[in-house]
Amino acid sequence: MEIDELEQPSGHAVESGSTNSEAESIKPMNCVDFQRDLPLIIDTGGNAEQEEHLRTCPVCGDLVADLRYIAEQAKLLIPMRDPSPKVWSNIEDRLKREGLVKSAQGRRG
Amino acid sequence: MYLAIRNQAAEPDCGAEAEDTSAAVAATPVAPEAPVRRASTAAPRILPSGMPEAEAIQRAQAGEEGSFEALYTLHKRRVYSLCLRMTGNTAEAEDLTQEAFLQLYRKIATFRGESAFSTWLHRLAVNVVLMHLRKRGLPEVSLQETMEPTEEDGPKKDFGSADQVLAGSIDRVNLERAIENLPPGYRIIFVLHDIEGYEHNEIAEMMGCSIGNSKSQLHKARMKMRDLLKVNRAERNASKR
């Protein structure tokens, strides 16, 4: 499979302006096709066929719910740990050796 | 149905695929015009001493030692967390934190304030980590892996019931543990996109891959996270019986 194909979700777009027969005209999608397209549509939304499959398929519905939940929880992670004190000690030594800091009495260099 | 996690920036045409994703790509220069990161807005603009960060930056640009340390104290946790999550190793993370700040101080005179200082520092730290990983020869994104479907790629057929979905069952500790257990390539993408908030076009640029690859790897990372979290939950439930 060519990489470029990853950029083109499968499925048939429903024409705009469809009437009450829109649901009837949506070609049923199977889990294989839906989950193949999922990487490209999960963060941006899918076409009518994909949305319909998601709405009606408990397997794919639960899968998407889990993946969205994981992404949302990851967003909430905050930095929790500090580096050891030696990291600053090493930085401080290097700054002085490279002449990037000036002493209290002299010029930088 | 899908609520966008965040608004996707317009994705540029990536052109031809890189044949060799392990080829060293020059670290992306710090981009002063980079968008403010979601997490960067959490960094306070006032140092604990009460000095505004902007003033500390100016003093550091003039070589004042105390200001270097003040900026380090303000930003060390976030930089270290980024390095630790991307490498999964505390010793490496400390070395990379040190290197990131040293590069910052060497370049601080060039900071003009067009973007948030934390954004500038963050992007620099990401570049430092990626350069380190490239030198180690770690494949960040494998074209081969992306193109050849594996057993993992098959449609998931586990019929989930409401009590089997993950919602509400993950705490921070288990989430962090799962991230640590991700394969390195997946972990990098997951950290950059879902934790640090980089868009796929930015990740693609930094890592020398296509946007499609970035999306595919992220999806695999999230799927792996799902597996790890479900196993972890099952183990916890079993231990309660």
Task: Please give the structure tokens belonging to residue B18.
Answer: 């890189």
Burial tier of A72 (Cβ tally within 10 Å: 0-12, 13-18, 19+): middle
Whether the predicted pLDDT of A107 surpasses 50 = no
pLDDT category at B229 given cuts 50, 70, 90 is very high
pLDDT digits (tens, 9 = 90+) for B132-147: 998 887 655 443 344 4
What distance in Å separates the CA atoms of residue B100 and residue B84, rounded to the nearest whole number? 13
**How far A40 CA sits from the closest chain B CA (Å)?**
6
Is B189 within 8 Å of B218 (Cβ atoms)? yes
Which range scores top for mean pLDDT: A16-20, B10-14, B200-204?
B200-204
In 3D space, the residue among B47, B112, B44, B114 whose CA is nearest the CA of residue B78 turns out to be B44
pLDDT at A80: 83
Q: Is B1 on the interface with A (CB under 8 A)?
A: yes
ipTM above 0.85, yes or no: no
**How many A/B residue pairs have CB atoms within 8 Å?**
180
pLDDT digits (tens, 9 = 90+) for B17-27: 333 333 333 33
Q: Residue-wise over B134-161: b if at least 16 C-beta within 10 A, else e?
A: beeeeebbebebbeeeeeebeebeeebe
Mutate to test the interface with B, among A52, A59, A81, A103 (most CBs of B within 10 A): A81
Interface of B with A in 192-231 (CB under 8 A): 194-195, 197, 210-213, 215-216, 218-219, 222-223, 225-226, 229
In 3D space, the residue among B89, B106, B210 whose CA is nearest the CA of residue A101 turns out to be B106
Q: Is B82 on the interface with A (CB under 8 A)?
A: yes
What is the mean predicted confidence (pLDDT) over B70-96?
Answer: 94
pLDDT at A25: 66
Contact B80 A82 (CB under 8 A): yes
Whether the predicted pLDDT of A26 surpasses 60 = yes
**How far B225 CA sits from the closest chain A CA (Å)?**
8
pLDDT category at B81 given cuts 50, 70, 90 is very high
Whether the predicted pLDDT of A8 surpasses 60 = no
Mean pLDDT of chain B: 77
Burial tier of A107 (Cβ tally within 10 Å: 0-12, 13-18, 19+): exposed
pLDDT at A58: 94
**How far A12 CA sits from the closest chain B CA (Å)?**
17
Residues 6 or more apart whose CB falls under 8 angstroms from that of A43 comprise: A71, B2, B4, B5, B8
Q: Which residues pair with B46 in a beta bridge?
A: B52
Least confident window among A85-89, B5-9, B186-190: B5-9
